[in-house]
Structure 1
C-alpha cells in the first residue's frame, strides 16, 4: 500500500550538527541536512538542507534539483555569468547539467528534491 508521508514543520526540524561544506570557496562555510524520503529505486530523494553564509560551487551533471527556500536569501550564479537572487518562499529548479555557484547571504534553509538522470 502507498501512503502519504508528512514531515511536520520543516523550519523547526533538527538537522543535526553542521559540518564543513566540501565545495566552499571561502573555507569556513558549514552545512547540515536530513534526508526525509528516498524512492525505492534510490533515484529521487527529498530532504531539508541548511547552510551558513559564503560561496560554493555546485554541479548538477548527475541529477536535477528542485528547491524551495524556507528561510534566508541566496544568489545563484549561472555558468554563463548571469545571476539571480532568490529568497524565502521562492521555488526554483536547477536542471540536469546545470553548473554554477551559490552565494548564501544569510543562514539559509531549503527543501530539496534531487532527481537522478534518466528518471
Structure 2
C-alpha cells in the first residue's frame, strides 16, 4: 500500500510536543519547543520519516550516527555547517545533512518540515 501525507494539513495539536534536547540537538538560545510525529519507519528502524515543527531558536546539531533529508513546508531557518557559510531554508527548500554533518540551525519563523532520517 502506498502511504501519502500532506504535512501542512496536519493539525499541530496532533503532534507530540517536547523540548529540544540531546541527543537530537543542543539548544543554544534557551528552551525550544518542538512538535513531531513519526509517519513511517522500516522494521530495522534504519529509515524513519515524519513531520517536525520547531519554535524559534538556535541549536547545535551533530549528525554523527545518522543522516537526515528535509523538505521545509512552512517557515524559515538558517543552517550553517561548521566552517561554511550559512544557508537560508524557506518553504519549498530541501536540504541534506549527511552522516558527519555538524553545525548550527537557527529557526527564524516557526518551521515545519517533512524529514527522512537514515542510519
Is the structural similarity TM-score above 0.5?
Answer: yes
- Indicate yes or no: 2:33 matched with 1:36: no
* Distance in 2 of aligned mates of 1:16 and 1:93: 23
The match for 2:2 is 4
- Indicate yes or no: 2:101 matched with 1:98: yes
1:72 corresponds to which of 75, 89, 102: 75
Q: Which has the larger radius of gyration?
A: 1
Gaps of 5+ in 1: none
Gaps of 5+ in 2: none
- Paired residue total: 113
* Distance in 1 of aligned mates of 2:16 and 2:2: 28
* Distance in 2 of aligned mates of 1:89 and 1:79: 24
* Distance in 2 of aligned mates of 1:84 and 1:72: 14
Q: Please, what TM-score do these two structures have when normalized by structure 1? A: 0.89
The match for 2:57 is 54
Determine helix, strand or coil for the equivalent of 1:61: coil
Determine helix, strand or coil for the equivalent of 1:11: helix
Q: Please, what TM-score do these two structures have when normalized by structure 2? A: 0.89
Runs of 4+ residues over 6 Å off in structure 1: none
The match for 1:16 is 15
* Distance in 1 of aligned mates of 2:108 and 2:17: 17
1:88 corresponds to which of 87, 91, 94: 91
Residue 4 of structure 1, CA deviation: 1.0
Residue 97 of structure 1, CA deviation: 0.5
